Amino acid sequence: MLDIDRLEYDKAITKLLDVRTTGGANPNVCYLLGKSYLYSTRTRSLEKAVFYLQKASHSPSENYQEWDLDELNAPMEVFYHLGKAQEKIGLYEFAADSYASCLLNLAIDKNIQRSKMYRIIEQAALNCLLTANPPIETEEAIAVQSK
C-alpha cells in the first residue's frame, strides 16, 4: 500500500502478486492490483486492470479501511478506476455503467453532486455512452447541417 501511495505501482504489483498467491485474491488485493496495473508506467496492462477491478467491484464497502492489512473489501472508488480502465480499452458501454455506479455512490452526499469531480465523472460517463451509442443521423439532420 505504501508503494501505491508513493505511486510506485511496479513495485506494488510484484508484492501484491505474492500476496495473492499466498493468501488468495480478496477484493482488496484485486482492487490494489487493478489500480496498480492501470496506473503503472512500466508494467501497465489495461486488460489486467479491468480483470482485477471487475473482481474487486463485487465487494465494495463504504466502510473500507485503506491502511488495514486485514481489509477484505474494495473501496467505493473501485467503480471509477474500473470505468477508466474500460474506457481506455474501448469498452465504452461498460465504462459508462461503471461511471454511473460511481456516481450513484457519490450522489448520497449533496455537496459532492455540486463538485467539479462529480461533473468530470458525469461527463466521462456521458462521453462513453455517446461513443458506445452514437446518435443516428437522419436525412433531416443532415439537411439542416449542410445549410
Displacement of CA 48 from its chain's centroid (Å): 12
pTM of the model: 0.83
Give the pLDDT of residue 67. Answer: 81
What pLDDT digit, counting tens, does each position of 9-60 carry? 999 999 999 887 776 678 999 999 999 999 998 888 999 999 999 999 999 9
Q: Decide if domain 2-135 falls under CATH 1.25.40.10.
A: yes
Give the pLDDT of residue 115. Answer: 78
Domain map (residue ranges) of the chain: 2-135
With left for phi above 0 and alpha for psi between -120 and 50, is residue 128 left, alpha or beta? alpha
What pLDDT digit, counting tens, does each position of 89-103 carry? 999 999 999 999 999
Give the pLDDT of residue 138. Answer: 58
- Give counts: helices (H), strands (E), the chain: 9, 2
Across 105-113, average pLDDT: 68
